[in-house]
C-alpha cells in the first residue's frame, strides 16, 4: 500500500523519493553527461561544504553555478545554511566542483539519494573528495571554532543497517564488500597536519574520530556520553555515508570537521545547542577552515598516485 498521500508528495518532493528505486548507474551517467555538456572540462577535486561553510565555493575562480533543481535527478536542499548549488571553478589551479549544500537523511531522503552526487562526481572524473561538516565536540579538549581532521568514523547508521550500499551491488561502481579501514587517506591527513603547522594553526587543529548519527534532534546527555565512550571525538548528521560511497567507487577522501559547539555531557550544564548557533559560529570562524582546505587543494596532485605536488613536497 502506498502510504504517502499525493498532496504530501507534491508539497514535499523528498517524501516521494522514499517510494522510488535507487538511481541506477545509467541515471548517474545521465546526470554526469548533462553536467559535462555544460562545463569547460572535467573536475579533479570535489568539495562538499558543510552547514554554514558554503563560502568556500565563492572563492573559486571562473565560477559556473547550477541550482540543484535544474540538474537531472539531483535532490534539493531543504536545510538553512545549505544553499543548494553546485559550483564549478578553479581553486589553486585545480578545476573543482563544490557542493554548496549537502543532503541529510533527516530531510526525508534515503541514503542512496543523499550520496547520489558522489557517484556523479566519480563519473565526472573526480579523483579526490574533500568532505567538510559542522560538528559538535565530544572530546573535552576541543572548543567551538576548532578544526578536526577526520582520522576515522563511526557510522552509527551503517552499523544498525542503514547503509547507502544496501541492495543489489553494481560492480561498475565498486565491490560488494568494500574495505573501510583506510577510509580517510593517510597522505592527505599528513599534508593537512603539515599545512596546519606551517599556518600556525596547530593549537586548534586536532585529529579524531567523527560519529554520524541520524538526527535531526541533537543528542541527549546519555547519548552524548555513550558516543564519547564509543571513541567518538565529534558528532554530526552527515559525512560517513558519503565517505562509504566515495570509497566504494575508488575516490581518495579527506574529511574535516568544523567544531561549532560542545555537545552537552553534563546534566548540570547550562549550554544548549541550536542550528542557528551552529551557523553563527560557522560564519564567524570558518575562514580558518577555508584557508586550510585551499592550501590543501594547492598541494594535491590528483593525477599522481602519491597525491603530492612535487614542488610542494619539499616545503611540507
Regarding 102 and contact with ligand R1P (CB under 6 A), the answer is yes
Burial class (CB in 10 A: 0-12, 13-18, 19+), 269: exposed
- Comparing CA positions, the residue from 69, 70, 76, 80 lying closest to residue 103 is 76
> Is residue 237 annotated as part of the catalytic site, yes or no?
yes
- Comparing CA positions, the residue from 71, 61, 68, 65 lying closest to residue 95 is 61
- The cell numbers describing 267, all together, are 546534566
In the complex with ligand HPA, the residue whose CB is nearer, 110 or 136, is 136
76: left (phi over 0), alpha (psi -120 to 50) or beta: beta
Note whether 48 and 102 are within 8 A (CB).
yes
Regarding 107 and contact with ligand HPA (CB under 6 A), the answer is no
* Residue carrying the nine cell digits 572530546: 139
Three-state secondary structure call for residue 221: helix
Cα angle, residue 212 at apex, residues 152 and 244 outer, rounded to 5°: 60
Question: Which residue in 81, 84, 110, 136 binds ligand HPA (CB under 6 A)?
Answer: 136
Catalytic residue among 30, 106, 169, 280: 106
Regarding 236 and contact with ligand R1P (CB under 6 A), the answer is yes
> Is residue 38 annotated as part of the catalytic site, yes or no?
no
Site string for ligand HPA, 235-254 (x = CB under 6 A): xxx-----------------
161: left (phi over 0), alpha (psi -120 to 50) or beta: left
User: Which residue in the shown chain puts its C-beta closest to ligand HPA?
Assistant: 136
Site string for ligand HPA, 170-209 (x = CB under 6 A): ----------------------------------------
Work out how close the CB of 136 gets to ligand HPA at its nearest, in angstroms, rounded to a whole number.
Answer: 2
Footprint on residues 254-283 left by ligand HPA (CB under 6 A): 260-261, 263, 273, 278
Residue 308 half-sphere exposure, CB side, CA atoms within 13 Å? 18
> Is residue 223 annotated as part of the catalytic site, yes or no?
no
97: left (phi over 0), alpha (psi -120 to 50) or beta: beta
Question: Which residue in 60, 131, 135, 281 binds ligand HPA (CB under 6 A)?
Answer: 135
Report how many residues bind ligand R1P under the rule CB under 6 A. Answer: 12
Q: What is the DSSP pairing of strand 85-91 with strand 205-212?
A: unpaired
Footprint on residues 205-224 left by ligand HPA (CB under 6 A): 218-219
Q: Is 51 annotated as a binding residue?
A: yes
Q: Is 73 annotated as a binding residue?
A: no
Binding site for ligand R1P (CB under 6 A): 50-51, 102, 104, 133-134, 215, 236-238, 275, 278
Active site residues: 51, 82, 104, 106-107, 134, 237-238, 261, 275
Which residues contact ligand HPA by CB under 6 A? 134-136, 218-219, 235-237, 260-261, 263, 273, 278
Amino acid at each position: 500500500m502506498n502510504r504517502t498521500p499525493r498532496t504530501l508528495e507534491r508539497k514535499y518532493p523528498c517524501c516521494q523519493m522514499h517510494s522510488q528505486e535507487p538511481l541506477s548507474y545509467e541515471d548517474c551517467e545521465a546526470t554526469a553527461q548533462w553536467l559535462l555538456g555544460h562545463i569547460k572540462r572535467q573536475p579533479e577535486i570535489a568539495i562538499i561544504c558543510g552547514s554554514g561553510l558554503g563560502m568556500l565555493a565563492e572563492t573559486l575562480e571562473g565560477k559556473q553555478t547550477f541550482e540543484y533543481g535544474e540538474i537531472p535527478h539531483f535532490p534539493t536542499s531543504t536545510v538553512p545554511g545549505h544553499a543548494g548549488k553546485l559550483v564549478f571553478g578553479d581553486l589553486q589551479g585545480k578545476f573543482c566542483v563544490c557542493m554548496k549544500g549537502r543532503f541529510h537523511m533527516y530531510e526525508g531522503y534515503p541514503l542512496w539519494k543523499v550520496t547520489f552526487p558522489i557517484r556523479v562526481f566519480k563519473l565526472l572524473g573526480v579523483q579526490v573528495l574533500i568532505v567538510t561538516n559542522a560538528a559538535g565536540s565530544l572530546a573535552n579538549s576541543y572548543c567551538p571554532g576548532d578544526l578536526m581532521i577526520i582520522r576515522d568514523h563511526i557510522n552509527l547508521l551503517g552499523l544498525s543497517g542503514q547503509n547507502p550500499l544496501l541492495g543489489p551491488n553494481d560492480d561498475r561502481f565498486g565491490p560488494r564488500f568494500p574495505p573501510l579501514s583506510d577510509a580517510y587517506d593517510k597522505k592527505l591527513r599528513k599534508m593537512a597536519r603539515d599545512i596546519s603547522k606551517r599556518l600556525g594553526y596547530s593549537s586548534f587543529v586536532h585529529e579524531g574520530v567523527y560519529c554520524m548519527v541520524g538526527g535531526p534532534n541533537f543528542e541527549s546527555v546519555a547519548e552524548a556520553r555513550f558516543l564519547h565512550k564509543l571513541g567518538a571525538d565529534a558528532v554530526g548528521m552527515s559525512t560517513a555515508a558519503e565517505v562509504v560511497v566515495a570509497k566504494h567507487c575508488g575516490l581518495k577522501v579527506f574529511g574535516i570537521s568544523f567544531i561549532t559547539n560542545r555537545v552537552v555531557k553534563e546534566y548540570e550544564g547550562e549550554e544548549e545547542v541550536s542550528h542557528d548557533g551552529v551557523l553563527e559560529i560557522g560564519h564567524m570562524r570558518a575562514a580558518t577552515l577555508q584557508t586550510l582546505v585551499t592550501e590543501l587543494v594547492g598541494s594535491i596532485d590528483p593525477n599522481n598516485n602519491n597525491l603530492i605536488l612535487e614542488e610542494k613536497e619539499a616545503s611540507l
